[in-house]
Amino acid sequence: VPDIALKKADEVILVDLPPADLIERLKQGKVYLPDNAERAMEGFFRPANLTALRELALRRAADRVDDQMVDFLRRSAIEGPWATGERLLVLVGPDPLSEKVVRTASRLASGLNAPWLVISITRPGATVDSGRLEETMRLAERLGAETRRVTAEDFVAEIMRTARRENVTQIVVGRLPRSLFARLTRRSLPDRLIGQAGDINVHVVSADVPLDARPGFNWRTRSNENALEAIGFPLAAVVAITLVGKAITAILTLQNIAMLYLVAVVVCGVVSGRRSAVFAALLSFVAYNFFFIQPVHTFAIDKPHEFFALFVFLAAAIFTAELSGRLREQAERARSQEKATQALYDFSRKLSGAARLDNVLDATAAHLYAETGKGTALLTPRQDGELIIGTVWPPDLAIDPTAMMAARWAFEKSELAGFSTATLPQVPWQFRPILTARKPVAVVGLLLGENGPLRPGDEQIVHGVLEQAAVAIDRARLFSESARRAALEESDRLHTALFASLSHDLKTPLATISGAATSLRDLGDKMEEPTRRDLLTSIEEEASRLGRFVANLFDMTRLEAGTLKPNLETIDIPDVVDGALQRVRKVYPGRIFDVSLAADLPSIEADAHLLGQVLFNLLENACKYGGEGNPISIFGRLDGNEVAISVTDQGKGIPEKDLEKIFEKFYRRQKSDGRAAGTGLGLSIAKGFIEAMGGTIKAESPAVRRRGTRFIVRLPVAREPRSRDSAR
């Protein structure tokens, strides 16, 4: 059975029996057929092998049970205050041994009841097999470790610095098998650590399985990238310097030609890196010898002191090459770091401007795509917790149902899923949860399956971006929650306004009707005839007021419910204006209405009943706010392919800031004596009706001579305009 099966198995059951028993069973033919068993016993099933296998199986099972135990403890929230006495620092790398190191450390940590910190150190700019390292780090996290990724030049110094800072008492490190040469030339990391550890205990975990990969730099891939530059540039530089040197020595005697070659070395180091500089140093050594040291044009050297000087030059050149190369590397690193910082800064500025969740998601996805070149998807949970796609960048990418499953997994388990992970690795997307302190707030998907994994260094960028995105998403969620609450409050406020309006506008007429009717009944015979008549009139008026209010409410309800279907027909404006005026005159007898309709007014496409109601509402409004005794004007004219009808009063007018508000439901202006008047529905119904008929309505104030308000209704002219003559 391959290891992977064991690793992925949901459950592992260990069936154990001593080797002697197994051989016994083999002999009885219970495992293989007799002749196969014979061969097996001779070949593989020897007691020593079986014992080794048994130990392996027991240990694997123990590892698993240990993981589950720690997992369980974590899940049951046995967080508690850990004993503070011991603290472990565990060093891992991209090597297969690291998994064993983590497991060993986990056992050690739970035995000591100590917190443990797992760090992986890489050299700046180094390419590592990040897949395996990630897996190891995740394992560590799952087993309860704190993990950290560090970059440093000097591993030992960085480790010791971290150890001292974190009050570490024990260090766990793996020892990789090393070649004889390596063992002779350099001390291994564990050895150096032990040398510097002082009072910190160092546990060294050794490999017991053949390791299939070795970590470290991969020179070949690096040199492939800029092979031309690394070889061509030094070559060109040395040739140039040689020519210059020749030219100068032709004119004057120069003692230190070697200095010129150092210039070439430095230039190569700064421009194309350390290896190029070393190469330049070697080339310079050869060229200097060949072209300038007597006898010229041979590699032979006459004078012993020149021989000595030549090698001093070589040493100096290589040393210079190293220095200049390192200088360049540091400059490059600083530059790329600055670029990353700048990008992150730009991103955070973009985010700070985005209040809505959509904007945050879009900004994050676009930024990740721009930084990594990978398709990016962001998924967020809906109100009901169901994960949905928030944004995909570039927008033409698709996420299939299997990928969605991986995304959900990432969200629910708060771990990586999809491409090159343990969960649904066949999916081209890799999903990572975006976590805040509270909970996962979103999932980011990176399309790694199509054009390869992230570039080295991008991992850090993604990490930084996601950290910021998490905060921004969380903030946007809170923001939208508070906006929703505000909307609820607003609708609450509307309901309160409706309630107040209902209780006022329904109850006052009702109180009048009921009061006047009972007064007439109980006290009518003690009243004068005109008084009785006035009470009866008031009953009639209040009943019709009530009727108008109920009709308004009904219209409003139809508008709100969207069930209003205007019955559009070709109508003539003078007829509608006349109808509305007749109704208004009943309510406001004695008002003066100035009607002026253009003679060439064409027919319009409208609903006669609705338009009549709109005009009535506008006229009623004008009567209420226009001031007693002031005339109200009605104008009608053709304006392009629209007919404009205006109703103008000569009241106080409306402050400019309220001109939009007057069309809102239940917005009421105060009358001159401070009393609220009307239902607050008339104008909003007028607006609703006009818009339903495809027209517009607006208010202007002041209308005439700094006084009054003008309402202008515009409606489209009928498609086949009839002249008034042919209509008649």
Partner 1 sequence: MSEGRILVVDDEPQIHRFLKPALSAAGYDALQAFTAAEAERLAATSAPDVIILDLGLPDKDGKEVIRSLRTWSKLPIIVLSARGVEAEKIEALDLGADDYVEKPFGIGELLARIRTAIRHREPATVSMSRFDIGDLSIDLAKRIVSRGGERVHLTPKEYDLLAHMARHAGLVMTHRQLLVAVWGPAHTEDLHYLRVFIGQLRTKIERDPSAPDLIRTEPGVGYRFAE
Of 650, 705, 700, 656, the residue nearest 672 (C-alpha):
650
Question: Nearer Cβ to partner 1, position 274 or 668?
Answer: 668
Report the residue from 534, 540, 560, 600 that binds partner 1 according to the rule CB under 8 A.
534
* Stretch of 46-54, 183-191, 517-525, 640-648 lying at the interface with partner 1 (CB under 8 A): 517-525
We find the least distance from the C-beta atom of residue 514 to partner 1, in angstroms, to be 4
* Stretch of 143-151, 159-167, 217-225, 674-682 lying at the interface with partner 1 (CB under 8 A): 674-682
Of 14, 6, 7, 13, the residue nearest 142 (C-alpha):
7
Query: According to the binding rule CB under 8 A, does residue 522 interact with partner 1?
Result: yes
Q: Binding to partner 1 (CB under 8 A): which residues in 631-670?
A: 670
Cis bond leading into 716, ω under 30°? no
Query: According to the binding rule CB under 8 A, does residue 673 interact with partner 1?
Result: yes
Alpha carbons 97 and 119: distance in angstroms, whole number: 14
Of 474, 478, 403, the residue nearest 442 (C-alpha):
474
We find the least distance from the C-beta atom of residue 675 to partner 1, in angstroms, to be 5
We find the least distance from the C-beta atom of residue 496 to partner 1, in angstroms, to be 12
We find the least distance from the C-beta atom of residue 505 to partner 1, in angstroms, to be 11
Query: According to the binding rule CB under 8 A, does residue 527 interact with partner 1?
Result: yes
Alpha carbons 162 and 179: distance in angstroms, whole number: 29
Question: Nearer Cβ to partner 1, position 426 or 672?
Answer: 672
Which backbone phi and psi does 522 adopt, to 5 degrees?
Answer: -80, -35
| Token pair recorded at residue 467 | 């950290």
Query: According to the binding rule CB under 8 A, does residue 620 interact with partner 1?
Result: no
Query: According to the binding rule CB under 8 A, does residue 550 interact with partner 1?
Result: no
Report the residue from 297, 526, 657, 728 that binds partner 1 according to the rule CB under 8 A.
526
Of 62, 213, 70, 189, the residue nearest 139 (C-alpha):
70
We find the least distance from the C-beta atom of residue 697 to partner 1, in angstroms, to be 29
Count of positions on this chain that bind partner 1 (CB under 8 A): 30
Query: According to the binding rule CB under 8 A, does residue 512 interact with partner 1?
Result: yes
Question: How many CA atoms within 13 Å lie on the side-chain side of 490?
Answer: 8
Cis bond leading into 702, ω under 30°? yes
Q: Binding to partner 1 (CB under 8 A): which residues in 598-617?
A: none
Give, in order, the Cα–Cα distances in Å from 502 to each of 175, 505, 551, 553, 681.
84, 5, 13, 9, 11
Q: Binding to partner 1 (CB under 8 A): which residues in 462-491?
A: none
We find the least distance from the C-beta atom of residue 542 to partner 1, in angstroms, to be 6
Q: How many CB atoms lie within 10 A of CB 457?
A: 19
We find the least distance from the C-beta atom of residue 522 to partner 1, in angstroms, to be 6
Query: According to the binding rule CB under 8 A, does residue 535 interact with partner 1?
Result: yes
Which backbone phi and psi does 648 adopt, to 5 degrees?
Answer: -120, 130
Cβ partners under 8 Å of residue 115, min gap 6: 82, 87, 88, 109, 146
Query: According to the binding rule CB under 8 A, does residue 508 interact with partner 1?
Result: yes
We find the least distance from the C-beta atom of residue 623 to partner 1, in angstroms, to be 15
Report the residue from 373, 515, 627, 721 that binds partner 1 according to the rule CB under 8 A.
515
| Token pair recorded at residue 418 | 């999809």
Residue with tokens 């109808």: 579
The three-point CA angle 37-42-46 to 5° equals: 95
Report the residue from 510, 543, 550, 704 that binds partner 1 according to the rule CB under 8 A.
510
Q: How far apart are the first and last CA of the chain?
A: 99
Interface residues with partner 1 (CB under 8 A)? 503-504, 507-516, 518-519, 522-524, 526-527, 531, 534-535, 538, 541-542, 670, 673-676
